[in-house]
Chains A and B, each alone.
Chain A
Amino acid sequence: MITLFRQYKSLQFILLLVIFYLLNHFIAPSDNNLLWRLPAALSWFPLYINDSISYLMFEWWPIDVYDPDIEEFEEKPVVREITRVLSGFILFLIEFIRELILGGVKTIVTFSSWDWATANPWAKWPGLPWTVVAGGATILGYALAGRGLALLVGLSMSYISLFGQWEPAMQTLSFVLIAAPTSVFIGLMFGIWAFKSKTVETILNPLLNMAQIIPHFSYLIPVMVFFGIGDHAGAIATVIFATPPMVRLTLLGLKKLGPEVAESGMMSGCTSFQLLTKVLIPTARRDILIGVNQVIMQCLAMVVLASLIGAKGLGIDLLIALNGLKIGAATEIGICIVLIAIVLDRLSLAWANTQVDYFTDLSFVEKHKHSLMFLAVFIIGIALAYLGQFIFPEGFNYLYIVPHNKGISIAIFLQSGVDWIWDTFFFALKGFNEWLIISVLMKVKGAFLGMPVIATFTLVMGVGFIVGGIRVALTVGAFLLFIALTPWWDRALITAYLMSVSVLVSGIIGITLGTLCAQNAKSTRFILTYCDTFQTFPSFIYLIPVMMLFGITDTAVVIAIIVYASIPALRYTVEGLLSVPQTLQDAGTMAGVNRAQRWLTIELPMSFPHIALGINQTVVFALSMVIIGAMIGTDDLGQLILGSLSDRNGVGNGLILGVCVACIGLAIDQILRTWANQRKLALGLN
């Protein structure tokens, strides 16, 4: 009997479920019963964290700093002074790029002073006409990958300009142009470090998960205090959020390389630096490039949230438009964000794929034709902008810059599109919505809230034990225990309920749709572009129509999460299926399996580790949407995090609430990762 149990995990699962059911059934809700809810033994902890952070932010190691504005010495904590120096440097870089394109005085001020700049109003960089910037970008596209890319870049830049979004879009671009390369660089470094040291890898993994999951609202105030408010703060928050996928994919890429690659490098006498830069990284390029793609997508996905801590550009315009229910205008801005993402992604991809040609002998003109083309565009653009002054007498020089709200607008059509959706679908969806809320969502929510704490622990730790033994069970239990001892266990159950429902649906959508689309190259490309689009298209925009259709209900929240969270499930399913070796497929075909059998018995099991990673990321994405759900209206952890912004002790509460959200993700990650590794071993994929 016992051996039978050891062998069949399904039996173990059934036993676990029976115990879970019995616990659920026999433990009655009661505030005094420890099996029902644990006491909030850690409720002092947020306050303690709050006080420690306040101490660090405002009191620890004070130094006297002279403030010339108020002509006084002020006592300031040294940590903050150091972080402020870093902010100043980042801000300088962002402003430099921004003013190069749009003009301004800040760069000049950096090298002189506000007094001087105010006294000499002529000392102002005028900025480039939009035609020059757009033309330059198009030539860059042409130089890197020929006509197709040039067309894409040119059309995108023209869209942005003609729709009157040039100024905010370039503000956003300048901030992304600093945040994205920084993330790529840091991600690459940490990825390599983790590749070289197993210890680093073990420590890094939970930190990466935390960085991706903890909602930004949790650390909004500490970031604002330490780094000040502005583009640099937005850039720092963005780097925290965008770097993890780069680390993961660099590590994945390097690990996949066989030992023979490194050996061949060593035989040719590489130093370890050369080995890394000339042999290993170029060979692992495919995965590293997916990392770069993810960095760019995450950076642009952060545009709206970064505007809450001072990043100028499209984000704040979008929030203003949405707050006035101008969905059409908001959609136009959203499209700009997606276009910037796609243009940057394709350009960086093309740049990484360029081959240096050492052998051809070119004339001066051929060698420098792109620079010469740019020079021509530069001169023509400036000449046109100069002429524009006379062509457009009313004061708007469209050849220099198309002012905000003076461009073309299709907002009316977009708006009527939304109206049409409403008119067509509302009453059909109403019945569905009622059914979903009453018969599914409220029941599931009730079930989650009706779980005694001992049952939750048994279930989760039991699954951990069956999958990975006592070590995994204890790790998972520790994460749960942390949440259970805070005052927010019930709130966390609601978050878990929203996440579970969304991840279930996202997983099903991702795997089926991913499988269908992986069948041919065209649909594969289409679905990957779809992923890029919806990863960067600000979810705030489709939230409004969703809220109008489904009301301020959990349905709206779940839909918002699914749209975003199904993206990694889709992406990784497609990547996984494509990575199944052709020889294996052929072997299957020769053995006489039909298409469906091949999918079920060969492709799906072989790509399981990839898909598991995808589901893992789906959980991460779903949890990172918790805060967006809170903006619709939920009663989970996210709502409390939003509330902590106006709370006296909000810093501590916000952070610990964020850690609670992360703990849910870390527990699931632990189980999924162990399972995926076992499957990999079983399939001989390592």
Chain B
Amino acid sequence: MKFRNTLIAGASAILLSATGVAKAADSTKPIVIPIHNWSSQVVMAHVIGGIFESMGNNVEYVPADSQAVYESIRNGDVTISHEVWQSSFGGSFYNAMAKGGLIDAGTHSALTLEEMGVPTWVIDQNLCPGLPNWEALKNCKDVFTTVDSDGKGRWLEGPQSWHGNLMPERIEALGLADDYTVKFAGGASSLWAELAAAKKEGRPTIIFNWTPNFTDAEGFTFIEFPEYTDGCRVADGGDGSCGSPKGWLKKAASYKFPKSHPAAYTAYSKVSFNTGQIGSMAALVDVDGMSHEDAAAKWLADNESVWTGWTQ
């Protein structure tokens, strides 16, 4: 009950600050920004931290597990989470919101795609003719078999905690169940290890991946499944024979943030990066070999026109 009240209070604070009535100065206590284990997230953490610092705020970075962090946000220990991927973190995000204490601080303009796909060289070498159209899969299950897949082609999906039984259901709905099976990997690094091993071995593989991601540089092609429509998934009452929608990338904040740092919160709610910007942040680290802090500083200096408007 108490939490619902604070949530309502939080929501009204957003309204207040959005209409420009914010008056109290920001607290000098640090804004706590979480650090997860992928480059674009870390650089963006420092970019957003840099924006806050330019407004005179103190900032602190804290390493955290990317699923468990939402519980800390709703408790007020962590202030924001600026890369909430729809399909991987949507569950944790909405759970925390339902329990109270976490607010949705808007959406980045970047559209994401989280989908099964193949390394582009599989298509270039025509190892499964007809890809990326999904119907091609019907004729090349043998290309994708592995030792422990019982003679079926294997889809390497992310951990079950990401999207539950979405992919097994899709295989069933598309009539591929006799030819394909799903294996759940334990985490993102398992996916990358498989990608690297498959390339070295020259063995085609179907894995779950997303964009924007560092694998874009190596070339990765998403399979084109029947288009997503509202309610087509089994969980939403459909038959499951559809691909993934263009996903959102949200920003989360703690209920305390609008009250303790009204100006910084207003700026944060305006922050919106597009795919190209996120890619360029990651590239500074992954391609140019800069440290995350340096990359953020360089990005802020090079793109001043992008972010200064948000701080006004």
Contact = CB atoms under 8 A, between A and B. Distances in A.
Interface string B44-75: 00000000000010100011110111011001
B189 interface: yes
B201 interface: yes
Interface stretch (A41-49, A154-162, A318-326, A514-522): A318-326
Contacts of A504: none
Given A115-B28, A323-B188, A325-B192, A310 B64 contact: yes
A438 B190 contact: no
B196 A220 contact: no
B63 A315 contact: yes
Interface string A533-555: 00000001001100111011110
A437 B148 CA distance: 7
Given A310-B64, A312-B63, A642-B161, A114 B186 contact: no
Interface stretch (B31-39, B107-115, B118-126, B235-243): B31-39
Nearest to B98: A648
B115 to A, nearest CB: 19
A220 B260 CA distance: 27
Indicate the member of B24, B148, B160 with the most A CB atoms within 10 Å. B148
Contacts, number: 186
A634 B186 contact: yes
B160 A639 contact: yes
B63 A552 contact: no
B37 A118 contact: no
A177 interface: no
A540 B189 CA distance: 9
A69 B183 contact: no
Contacts of B65: 220, 308-309, 645
A405 B72 CA distance: 30
B197 A225 contact: no
Interface stretch (A70-78, A345-353, A466-474, A481-489): A70-78
Interface residues of A, number: 72
B147 A551 contact: yes
Contact of B148 (A310, A426, A544, A554): A554
Interface stretch (B88-96, B171-179, B268-276, B304-312): B88-96
A442 interface: yes
A195 B312 CA distance: 67
B259 interface: yes
Given A69-B260, A224-B71, A229-B77, A551 B197 contact: yes
B143 interface: no
B39 to A, nearest CB: 6
A174 to B, nearest CB: 15
A323 B260 CA distance: 34
Interface stretch (A186-194, A591-599, A613-621, A625-633): A625-633
5 contacts: A118-B56, A224-B71, A229-B78, A308-B64, A422-B200
Interface of B: 2-3, 6, 9, 24, 27-30, 32, 34-35, 37-39, 42, 56, 58, 62-65, 67-69, 71-72, 75, 77-78, 89, 91-92, 95, 98, 146-148, 156, 159-162, 183-190, 192-194, 196-197, 200-201, 214, 256, 259-260, 286, 289-293
Given A118-B56, A320-B292, 18 more contacts: A114-B29, A221-B68, A229-B64, A229-B72, A308-B63, A308-B64, A320-B39, A324-B39, A325-B193, A422-B200, A426-B201, A552-B183, A639-B159, A639-B160, A642-B187, A644-B161, A646-B89, A646-B92
